[in-house]
């Protein structure tokens, strides 16, 4: 049974994730190097917590491979999320990420072999319309928004997989091996990254003092605590409810970004109209679900 404490935890970690975009932009090194360090610091932090609370490190070989592969998806998600903020701004990145609940509504039935509801497809068209409104009228950051949508897609993907894994594996154990998988993926991809995206610059693997401060906060609060808590909540809270609540992340994040970064986060009217359409569509989902869940299926 879901308690008030569970809801409080859920909203608190959403607030922390809303702040993660700001922390990511404050770090001076490129997004790739930052995510590489974040995954390493997160794995170390989770392992230390597991050691002190006597949590099990043991998983089967099949579970280890599965968690490592899910970690690859987590790495892509974080890269997309933070790179979106770098090539546009925090607000655009968060709006793209806000499509995560829509992706969950479409992907969850696919993976769990249940019917897709027609009203979910209609909401999907509404979200696409909201994105069209944002892209129209000389929108400055089309690539940033598309990369943000990729962040939303991958967030839905690894959340669906984690909801399955948490039935048999403790949340801390899941988080540890996924962080390790993300770090392994980014390390293996490093030569390709250097030859392609970072071909015109040297790798920045020596962060400054403040970079370390921001990344430690990012890893400790937004990964060790928030990510592990989210996985634990999946035992009692549906994946869609978690993803739906995550749509408050743009609200928290955009407000904080405007306060901290000022003018560079202020967008045109079409951006806020499109954002309102997207958030209205995803927020209406639970009400439509209660009303039409049994009537409209395809």
pLDDT category at 3 given cuts 50, 70, 90 is confident
How many folded domains does the chain comprise?
1
pLDDT at 192: 87
247: in domain: yes
297: in domain: no
pLDDT at 86: 86
Q: Report CA 65 to chain centroid distance, whole Å.
A: 22
74: in domain: yes
8: in domain: yes
264: in domain: yes
Per the DSSP assignment, residues forming a β-bridge with 117 are 297
The CA distance from 131 to 278, in Å, is 8
Q: pLDDT > 90: what percent of the chain?
A: 38
The mean per-residue pLDDT over the stretch 260-283 comes to 75
Per-residue pLDDT tens over the stretch 75-115:
999 999 999 988 888 778 878 887 887 788 788 888 887 77
The CA distance from 94 to 270, in Å, is 16
pLDDT category at 298 given cuts 50, 70, 90 is very low
44: in domain: yes
Question: What's this model's pTM, rounded to 2 decimal places?
Answer: 0.83
106: in domain: yes
Give the lowest-confidence range in 3-7, 214-218, 287-291: 287-291
First to last CA, the chain: 30
298: in domain: no
Show the tokens assigned to 23: 């922390």
* 3-state secondary structure string across 110-162: HHHCCCCEHHHHHHHHHHHHHHHHHHCCCCCCHHHHHHHHHHHHHHHHHHHHH
* Residues spanned by the domain of 91: 4-292
Is the per-residue pLDDT at 15 higher than 80?
Answer: yes
The CA distance from 196 to 230, in Å, is 34
| Residues 9 and 226: beta-carbon distance below 8 Å | no
């Amino acid at each position: 049974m879901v308690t008030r404490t569970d809801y409080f935890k859920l909203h608190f970690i959403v607030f922390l994730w809303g702040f993660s975009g700001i922390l990511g932009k404050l770090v001076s090194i490129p997004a790739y190097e930052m995510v590489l360090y974040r995954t390493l610091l997160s794995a170390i932090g989770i392992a230390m917590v597991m050691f002190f609370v006597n949590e099990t490190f043991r998983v089967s070989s099949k579970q280890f491979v599965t968690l490592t592969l899910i970690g690859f998806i987590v790495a892509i998600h974080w890269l997309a999320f933070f790179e979106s903020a770098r090539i546009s701004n925090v607000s655009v990145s968060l709006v793209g990420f806000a499509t995560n609940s829509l992706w969950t509504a479409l992907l969850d039935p696919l993976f769990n072999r249940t019917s897709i509801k027609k009203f979910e497809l209609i909401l999907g068209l509404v979200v696409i319309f909201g994105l069209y409104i944002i892209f129209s009228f000389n929108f400055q950051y089309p690539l940033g928004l598309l990369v943000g949508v990729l962040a939303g897609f991958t967030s839905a993907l690894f959340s669906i997989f984690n909801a399955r894994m948490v039935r048999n594996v403790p949340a801390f154990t899941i988080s540890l091996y996924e962080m390790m998988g993300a770090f392994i993926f980014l390390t293996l991809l490093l030569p390709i990254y250097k030859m392609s995206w970072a071909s015109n610059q040297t790798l920045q693997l020596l962060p400054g003092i403040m970079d370390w401060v921001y990344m430690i906060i990012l890893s400790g609060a937004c990964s060790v605590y928030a990510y592990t808590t989210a996985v634990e909540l999946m035992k009692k809270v549906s994946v869609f409810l978690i993803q739906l609540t995550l749509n408050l992340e743009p609200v928290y994040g955009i407000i904080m970004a405007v306060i901290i970064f000022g003018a560079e986060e202020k967008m045109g009217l079409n951006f806020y109209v499109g954002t309102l359409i997207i958030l209205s569509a995803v927020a209406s989902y639970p009400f439509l679900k209660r009303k039409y869940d049994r009537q409209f299926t395809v």
